[in-house]
Amino acid sequence: MTYRSSKVFVPLLFAALFFTACAPSAQSEVNRTDFVLGTVCTVRLIDGGTNKTTDEVFARLRQIEDRMSANKDGTEIAAVNANAGIKPVAVSPDTFFVISKALEYAKLTNGAFDPTVGPLVKLWGIGTDGAKIPAQKDITATLKLIDYRKVELNASAKTVFLPVKGMRLDLGAIAKGYAADEVDSILAKHKVKAAVIDLGGNVMVFGKKKDGSLWRVGIQNPDSSRGEYIGLVTGPEMTVVTSGIYERFFMQDGKRYHHILSTSNGYPVDNGLVSVSIITHSSIDADALSTSVFALGLKNGMELIKSLKDVYAVFIDSANRVYLSPGANKIFTLTSKDFTLSE
């Protein structure tokens, strides 16, 4: 599953922070890393749990991939897309829930976040060997296929229908968040007391550490190689998800074309931001919000965050200025001298 997201290659950064911050006995831990959901995923059980726990976790992650990938044959989303303009398709409760949640965020952002962006994602091909700048006529034609309001859901039958041929759903900006929340549920069932879940940079810290200290999660430095961070989020169990322009992109004529595409003009979003990190408790919300807020831009994105309870955001712009949503200053500490806090 190719998730076109900046949340892919950050695990080394977070692993480094967690190893120094947690420092439990290595023998007491259970660790597993595998490639699933289109990225490298790591589950680190610090206190409690067994290999059976991680087996169940990764089986669940593969099940989610096999249902929700838009880039893999035989998935439920692939079936929905193949039947656009033809007929409704029955999907699992999992997939129906994630689509419904994606449509909620599309409505909340007036389409800045839109799960029907699939045709545009496919047209640009960013993150694939075929990435290119499409012809303007193709972008214009593709934009006509993007409209979350046209998606037809039948809650009782759990069916999804795209009424226009050529429409495509892409859950790449929300499905990993759902997957992280599902891992959280499995860990709770297995009575795990402390764990770190890193689904390609969608990070969740679970439970409490033995020594009682707070978790520390680094915010990626968008200007440097992987493994460096601009500051730390410190707190109890939480999820931290980042969207930015610096991981999936291609260069042409000296210009960077990144993966976060505007549903209004069909080009990569260009609003001065380079990354947005969301800190909250629900990973599905953090995943959707990181893309939503980035697409909305600093002013409108900040207003959206202010309207939500127990959600915090860290914005970074192209001038290395860092903007914090209300309350984020209590959990985020800037550590890099190359960046400045702005009001």
Domains, the chain, with CATH or none: 11-50+193-342 (3.10.520.10)
* φ and ψ at residue 72, rounded to 5 degrees: -140, 135
Bridge partners (DSSP) of residue 278 are 241, 313
What tens-digit pLDDT sequence spans the chain (343 residues)? 333 333 333 333 444 354 434 444 445 799 999 999 989 999 999 999 999 999 999 999 999 999 999 989 999 999 999 999 999 999 999 999 999 999 999 999 999 999 999 999 999 988 888 889 999 999 999 999 999 999 999 999 999 999 999 999 999 999 999 999 999 999 999 999 999 999 987 999 999 999 999 999 999 898 875 568 999 999 999 999 999 887 777 788 888 878 899 999 999 999 999 999 999 999 999 999 999 999 999 999 999 999 999 999 999 999 999 999 999 999 999 999 999 999 7
pTM over 0.85: yes
CB 294 within 8 A of CB 315: no
CA distance 264 to 255: 20
pLDDT at site 93? 98
CB 102 within 8 A of CB 76: no
Three-state SS across 141-181?
A: HHHCCCCHHHCEEECCCCEEECCCCCCCCCCCCCHHHHHHH
pLDDT at site 3? 33
pLDDT at site 256? 84
pLDDT at site 227? 66
Torsion of CA 155, 161, 162, 168, to 10 degrees: 80
